[in-house]
Amino acid sequence: MPVKLGLIGAGGIANFHAEIASKVGLKIVAVCDIDEKRANSLVDTYQGAIATTNVDELLANSNVQAVAITTPNATHKPLAIAALEAGKDVLVEKPMAINSAEADELVEAAKNSKQILQIGFVCRYAPASIAAKKYVDSGMLGKIYHVKANLNRRRGIPGLGRWFTNKSQSGGGVLMDLGVHLLDLALHITGHPKPERVSASCTSTFGSPISSYCYNEMWAGPPNAKGVFDVEDAVTALLRFHGGMTLELNTSWAAEIPSGVIKDGLLLLGDKGGCFFDLWANELTLAHEIQGQLVETKQQFPSDDAWEASWKRQYEVFLDNITKRKAPTASVEDGRAVQLLLDALYASSEQGCEIAVG
C-alpha cells in the first residue's frame, strides 16, 4: 500500500512536491490551501484527492498518513506541531521556523512525538553534495579549513511585495530563503562543527521602491507594487567554527553580477585536497597534490537533472524513514542548528560587528 500524503499549501513548490512524491510512490490524497482555487487546481491532477481550505479537516483525515508543509515560512512551526500532534509524519519546508525560539518549540514537539519530522534541506540530496560528503567523511580532503558557499540570483526576488519579502511572514529575505540551503549544506558536509563567531552584512538594494524593480520571470509571481519589502536581498558573511574552519557565504536575490562569473555551489578546502561542486551542473571537481603535482579530476553524475535528482532522493529518504520508522538525517536538530546561525547572522548585521553565536 502506498504511503498517503496530504499537502498543506498548494502554491509554487507544492506542485513540485506532489509531482515528485507521486513519482517515488507516495499517493496524494488531500490538499489544503487557504486559497480554494489553488487547492482545487492541485487536486485536479491527482485522482481521488480531496481539496480543503481547512487545515484541521486535513489533519483529522485518517486517510492522510504524512504531510508536506509548503506554506509561507511563519506558518511552518505551528503547522508542523499541529501535524505531529495529529499523528502525521511531516516533511516541512525550509526554514523550519523563523527564529531560534520557535525552532526550540518544534524541537520539543518532535521529542514528544513518535512521528517522523524531516526538514526540507533538499540540496543535501544533489548527487554532487552526496559525493562531496563522502570525500570529506573518508578523509580524502584532510582537515577542512575553509568553505566558500555561493547561491546568487541576479533579478530573482521571489514575489516581490508578497509574503516572501514581508518579514512578519517570511522571517527574513534571501538568508531565510537561499542562505538556509548553503548553511545546512556546509554544516552537513563538514560534520556539524560548533559555530563560534559570525560576521554578516545584510543589504537591501534592489527591492525598493518595488515599482522600479527590473523584474525577470521569477518564483512566486510578479511584483506587487503596493506590497511590503522589508527584508534583505543580499548577504555576505563569514562564520568561524571551533577547530578553525571558516565559512564564507554569499547569497543574493538580486545583484549586478555579470553572468557566469560566480557559480552556485560549495568550494571545500582541506589540507589534503579541495573540491568544488556546482549545485546545478551535476558535476564535481577535485584538486589534489600527487607527487609534487597539482592534479584535477572531474566527476560527472548520471544524466538526470541535478534539481530533480535531489528532490527524488529527498522523497525516497522521507518514504524510507516513514516505512522503516527511522530518525531522519535532515533532523529537527539540524534545522535548529541552521536557525541559530540565521539569528546570529541577522544580529551581527544589525550590530555591524562580529558576534558570538548562541
Ligand X SMILES: NC(=O)c1ccc[n+]([C@@H]2O[C@H](COP(=O)([O-])OP(=O)(O)OC[C@H]3O[C@@H](n4cnc5c(N)ncnc54)[C@H](O)[C@@H]3O)[C@@H](O)[C@H]2O)c1
Q: Which residues bind ligand X (CB under 6 A)?
A: 8-14, 32-35, 38, 55, 70-73, 75, 93-94, 120, 122, 177, 219-220
Nine cell digits for residue 141: 580532503
CB of 315 to ligand X, least distance (A): 12
Complex with ligand X: residue 94 or 336, whichever CB lies closer: 94
Largest Cα separation within the chain, whole Å, is 66
Q: Smallest distance from the beta carbon of 78 to ligand X, in angstroms?
A: 8
In the block, cell 509524519 appears at 89
Q: Which residue is nearest to ligand X (CB)?
A: 11
Tell me the closest approach of the beta carbon of residue 82 to ligand X, in angstroms: 10
Minimum separation from the CB atom of position 294 to ligand X (A): 35
| Residue whose CB is less far from ligand X, 6 or 273 | 6
Q: Return the number of the residue (34 or 287) whose C-beta is nearest ligand X.
A: 34
In angstroms, give the least distance from the CB of 71 to ligand X: 4
Report phi then psi at 194, rounded to 5.
-80, 120
Query: Closest distance between ligand X and the C-beta of residue 271, in Å?
Result: 33
Pairing of strands 246-252, 234-241: antiparallel
| 10 versus 64: smaller Cβ distance to ligand X | 10
Q: Which residues contact 215 (CB under 8 A, 6 or more apart)?
A: 155, 160, 222, 223
Please say which residue, 162 or 240, places its beta carbon nearer to ligand X: 162
Query: Is 9 or 193 the residue whose CB approaches ligand X more closely?
Result: 9
Which of 54/351 has CB closer to ligand X? 54
Least distance between ligand X and beta carbon 80 (Å) = 11
- The CB-of-199 to ligand X minimum distance in angstroms stands at 25
3-state secondary structure the chain: CCCEEEEECCCHHHHHHHHHHHHCCCEEEEEECCCHHHHHHHHCCCCCCEEECCHHHHHHCCCCCEEEECCCHHHHHHHHHHHHHCCCEEEEECCCCCCHHHHHHHHHHHHCCCCCEEEECHHHHCHHHHHHHHHHHHCCCCCEEEEEEEEECCECCCCCECHHHCHHHHCCCHHHHHHHHHHHHHHHHCCCCCEEEEEEEEECCCCCCHHHCCCCCCCCCCCCCCCECCCCCEEEEEEEECCCCEEEEEEECECCCCCCCCCCEEEEEECCCEEEEECCCCEEEEEEEECCEEEEEEEECCCCCHHHHHHHHHHHHHHHHHHHCCCCCCCHHHHHHHHHHHHHHHHHHHHCCCEECC
Q: Quick one: 32 or 109, whose CB is closer to ligand X?
A: 32
Nearest to 34 by CA among 4, 68, 58: 58
Q: How far is the CB of 53 from ligand X (least distance, A)?
A: 8
Q: Which residue, 13 or 90, is less far from ligand X as judged by CB?
A: 13
